[in-house]
Amino acid sequence: MANKVSTSIVLFKKRAKNNGKFPAKLRVTHNRNQRYFSIDRKERMYEFSEKEFEKILAPKPRGDYKDIKLEFSIIEEKARKIIERLPNFDFDDFKSLWGIKGASSNIIPFYDDYIKLLKEKQKEQQWNYHNTKKLLLEFFNKEKYIDFRQITPAKLEQFEKWMLESGRKISTVATYTGTIRTMFKLAIEKHAIPEEIYPFGRGKYVIPQVSNSKRALQTKEIKAIYEYESKPFSEADYARDFWLFSYLGNGMNMVDICRLKYKDIGKETFSFIRHKTKEKNKSCRTVTVPITEDIARIIEKWGNKDKFPDNFVFPFLAEGLTNHQIHQRVRHRVAKLNSGLKTISSDLGFEKKLTSYSARHSFATTLKRNLISTEYISESLGHANLDITKRYLDSFENEQRIEIAKHLTSFD
């Protein structure tokens, strides 16, 4: 591939600078097509008059011109290395790896480009990538440059420890190190770095697996929430009803509750596709939920009175909102729900923290305790495949074994 692509540093004379000089640029030629790329850096601008440039290219340049010619050779060598990494040369691929600074092995531009992409698509995940980039720069004590090769398995272990010591949760560590893994995969895909330096996997750094076992409630705790009495339409009343709606609604989360429309509601069931799954997979499983008396009661109590098919069931969203506005409104609803659950948890004397997400795990655990098949649980949760469900249910296995073992000596 390298012999089909040529490079050289040339004086770009199409437009002179205010000082009368011209910028020096990297010229890349492929199949008689030419493109020009900036070689300037923050600390160095390559601008020359025609006479100065001739002195740089002279067989035996002197003084500063000799140093500049050496810098040119280093720049060209970096360009050739990028070209060698591209199995099928493409100017756009070269541009993405070259960058304004020519720093193809710098992880920061990969973060910047990915954050920009997520921002354009109005994806809230952009903040996970933004926060990780910020923390990496702080951890490495850098301003703008971190080479992929610096992020070794040992460094990732140190980074994890550093985040935990600074008060971040293990789930946050898992999320942030997951964004680093994404950047490595993206850089390898673009042939910016060799696969050999990939620091994740068996025998290397393993991203923490967050256990969900403590999120599921015991049967007596679920019963206590179901029977909890509160002042009608109070925050606690809202929290109880929507926790139950999630629990009875196959563990649907608040974003799916907020997005539910009357056209999704049938006589005996309602259906939805998980928003989380819809964003990640083209083929999504529809979740069908039986409309029990409690679900019907909650819809009638809290729902929009205008049941036009395109109206949202609950008055939390409106048509025409951006993804960011939807995300903010859902966050507000989750915060209000968790605040009410905190009151309920305190009133009922629960030791564990009661959150909105515990409803989903309690739904799955209850089915598992009643020996419902994994296939049914998978379909009910809206999982794409059984492997996801099996990982999801791993935390419930020991608890179930203990309960079953009790029957071995239950002789009454």
pLDDT in tens, 45-100: 889 999 999 999 998 998 889 989 988 988 888 888 888 877 788 888 787 777 64
Do 27 and 153 lie in a common domain? no
As a whole number, mean pLDDT of residues 255-261 equals 95
In whole numbers, what is the pLDDT of the chain averaged over residues? 85
As a whole number, mean pLDDT of residues 343-353 equals 91
Q: Name the percent of the chain lying above pLDDT 70.
A: 86
Q: How many CB atoms lie within 10 A of CB 404?
A: 11
Q: Would 208 be classed as within a structural domain?
A: no
Confidence (pLDDT) at 24? 92
Do 271 and 338 lie in a common domain? yes
Q: How far is CA 87 from CA 1, 26, 44, in A?
A: 7, 21, 32
Do 344 and 233 lie in a common domain? yes
How much is the pTM?
Answer: 0.57
Does 101 score more than 50 pLDDT? no
Give burial (CB, 10 Å; 0-12/13-18/19+) of 176. buried
Do 154 and 282 lie in a common domain? no
- Which residue range is the domain that position 351 belongs to? 215-409
Do 256 and 350 lie in a common domain? yes
Q: Would 99 be classed as within a structural domain?
A: no
Q: Would 238 be classed as within a structural domain?
A: yes
Confidence (pLDDT) at 129? 95
User: Which pairs with CB-CB distance under 8 Å and at least 24 residues apart come from 78-81?
Assistant: 78/102, 78/104, 79/7, 79/26, 79/28, 79/37, 80/2, 80/7
Confidence (pLDDT) at 100? 41
Q: Would 219 be classed as within a structural domain?
A: yes
Position with higher pLDDT, 90 vs 102: 90
Q: Would 204 be classed as within a structural domain?
A: no
Residue 344's CATH number: 1.10.443.10
Do 257 and 233 lie in a common domain? yes
d(CA 258, CA 101): 45
Do 340 and 264 lie in a common domain? yes
Confidence (pLDDT) at 125? 83
Do 122 and 188 lie in a common domain? yes
What is the Rg, in whole angstroms, of the alpha carbon atoms belonging to the chain? 29
Do 286 and 165 lie in a common domain? no
Please state the domain count of the chain.
3
Confidence (pLDDT) at 104? 57
Do 261 and 369 lie in a common domain? yes
Do 226 and 331 lie in a common domain? yes
Does 103 score more than 50 pLDDT? no
Bridge partners of 51, per DSSP, are none
pLDDT in tens, 315-327: 999 999 888 888 8
Q: Would 370 be classed as within a structural domain?
A: yes
Q: Would 101 be classed as within a structural domain?
A: no
Q: Would 342 be classed as within a structural domain?
A: yes
Do 292 and 391 lie in a common domain? yes
pLDDT in tens, 277-297: 765 555 567 888 999 999 999
